[in-house]
Structure 1
């Protein structure tokens, strides 16, 4: 099986609301690059909704499928986090988080009702944001004399690489993300640039 060259994520943050028997479920879907970014956003939502009964969530990161978390935040086991994650996965998304904030309306919904509410709120939020394809990137570190900056940057742009880090000392140190689909071509082109030392990160 060949590995994909692209992954699917969402374009921008969205919010949707679902109501059932007086309970309000506010779903916040947003793109994330790492777990720290998620934690920041979760803290922010807890500050915005201090009176909410639950802040349930799920997120998935990376492309190997191993980096994910789901939390029921006090709801019955697997009635919130799992249905939220299930919707992220059914759309084959990654680098995405969804937090569903619940205000209890006084009537118990039961586990099937909760599963339905968290699932529906998540579906609604994910439907509101376009799904985008992003290239899977491989990180490389380039080291070169800064007088060569223009030539290197021209190539980086041509190959649609992203810049992860840039340091200028006596020489330039550039960490770039090379789209997997263009990796062979990029390495071939870099080989011609004898003044650039290339190291996989």
Structure 2
């Protein structure tokens, strides 16, 4: 990955729903993880079919690790009162690859522009409260190959760095694969070399984004 500026961002591990009521109007927010514009558009259409009898189905989504693609729609509400405020909640939460649809059932009372902005904003926040969110970290997939004599020391230092192997292959030699945050890479490389007298093979296979298990959120 050439652009390393995005060290981390948040994603929906499980989408959720939330509801906000303002002067008898119901605002139902549905959030879902979407990895592409096509997925997001399909999700919006799905919600429109599900809530076909609603007055409005406004949406917003943000795609890409740097938020390269953003879209929002007021779906008939006054311009700037629905889609944009919804998108700003996603951006403020540092979410990426996320889409939200807020369905409005009109309660018979006009809310005004300020009331609409507040209602659509709050609906998305309620949906987020009921979603499971995780943080994606920029880092590297690393392969460590070692003789059996060194494995105890390697596992000990991995524990100290709060790193856990993704896989362990115990053959003629032991091969460990693990996800390493970018800021820990060189420190880990030095520690492995020192603890094995340079006998272990340390290879950075590729750059990745991975879920930080230490920062899982409900």
Tell me if TM exceeds 0.5.
yes
Q: Would the alpha carbon gap of residues 157 and 18 (structure 1) be closer, same or farther in structure 2, given more than 3 Å must change?
A: farther
Give the C-alpha shift of residue 81 in structure 1: 0.5
Matched with 2:172 is none
The equivalent of 1:8 in structure 2 is 10
Counterparts of 1:23 and 1:121, CA distance in 2: 12
Determine the structure 2 residue equivalent to 1:55: 57
Matched, 1:42 2:44: yes
Q: Which 4+ residue blocks in structure 1 deviate beyond 3 angstroms? A: 135-138, 179-182
**Per-residue CA shift, 1:106-136, capped at 9, x if unaligned?**
1110100000000000011112223201244
Separation in 2, partners of 1:131, 1:70: 21
How far apart are 1:186 and its partner, in Å? 1.2
Cα RMSD of the aligned pairs, angstroms, is 2.9
Q: Which residue pairs with 1:116 in the alignment?
A: 118
Pair 1:66 & 2:76 matched = no
Q: By how many angstroms is 1:34 displaced? A: 0.6
Tell me, in whole angstroms, the C-alpha distance in 2 between the residues paired with 1:108 and 1:17.
18
Secondary structure in structure 1 of the residue aligned to 2:110 = coil
Structure 1 unaligned runs (5+)? 139-153, 161-178, 188-201
> Hey, what's the Cα distance between the residues in 2 that align with 1:137 and 1:26?
37
Question: In the alignment, what sits opposite 1:158?
Answer: 177
Say if 1:5 and 1:180, in contact at 8 Å, map to a contact too: no
Query: How far did 1:3 drift?
Result: 1.4
Q: Distance in 2 between matches of 1:49 and 1:41?
A: 12
Distance 2:59 2:26 in 1: 15
Q: 1:157 to 1:104 in 2, by over 3 A?
A: farther
- Please give the secondary structure, in 2, of the residue aligned with 1:11: strand
Are residues 61 and 136 of structure 1, via their aligned partners in 2, closer, same or farther at CA, if it must alter by over 3 Å?
A: farther
- The two structures have a TM-score, normalised by structure 1, of 0.68
Whichever of the two has the greater Rg, that structure is: 2
Could you give the per-residue CA deviations for residues 147-188 of structure 1, whole angstroms, max 9, x where no partner exists? xxxxxxx7x98245xxxxxxxxxxxxxxxxxx8837x7115x
Question: Could you say what secondary structure the match of 2:87 adopts?
Answer: helix
Aligned ranges 1:1-201 → 2 under 5 Å: 3-136=5-138, 158-160=177-179, 181=182, 185-186=204-205
Asked whether the 8 Å contact 1:159–1:186 carries over to 2, the reply is no
Q: SS of the residue aligned with 1:186?
A: strand
State how far apart, in whole Å, the 1-side matches of 2:95 and 2:205 are. 27
Query: What is the distance in 2 between the residues matched to 1:65 and 1:14?
Result: 21
Count matched residues: 156
